[in-house]
Amino acid sequence: MPRRTTRLLFGIGLFALSLAGCEDQAGDYVAVSSISANGFAKHNKAMLALNGRELSLWGYVDHGNLFPIDHTRQGSVARPEHHQPAKPRWRFNLKGRPDDPTGHSFAVRVIIDSGRNALIRTFLEDARRGRPTKVFVTGTLVTFHAPTAGRLLVGLSMNVESSQDILLDAKP
């Protein structure tokens, strides 16, 4: 699907979300807190409709969930295809607010490239100093059903094609 069409559809989806009170944007970037609560979709139907679409989000690195090595090749458990990208990737989790607890976030999988080390150094240094790392990320949204004993949740993750699609603490 052409990028312009994807952005138009995303814009329509954001319009629907803004009617529900989710309007936190920075340029073309939408706040993670607008679409996610505790790492799951706030609005199940809207997020399921955006599965596979390119989104631009801003949020904070979950320093307790940073995996700088290629996690796609680890473990012997067979995972659904949308959870195991073909190219080697490193991972961090993204949360909506800097004070959200560890684990109240969703996975961002980034293709391993030459920009990885600089990002990881920044993430680790911020974690060591106890300061939040605000990031602006553009990637493909992946949604999945996450049934629980009480209700059906929609899980979120994002696949990012390049570390250049991750900007640090500056409005794009």
Structure tokens given for 95 = 């949360």
What pLDDT does 5 receive? 46
The pLDDT tens digits for 8-24 are: 445 545 544 443 444 57
**pLDDT by residue (tens digit) across 83-110?**
555 688 999 999 999 999 999 999 999 9
Three-state secondary structure of 6-66: HHHHHHHHHHHHHHCCCCCEECCEEEHHHHEECCEECCHHHHHHCCCCEEEEEEEEEEEEE
Residue 48 confidence class, pLDDT cut points 50, 70, 90: very high
pLDDT at 75: 45
Average pLDDT for residues 141-150, to the nearest whole number?
87
**Phi and psi, residue 14, nearest 5°:** -65, -35
**Arithmetic mean of pLDDT, 39-48:** 92
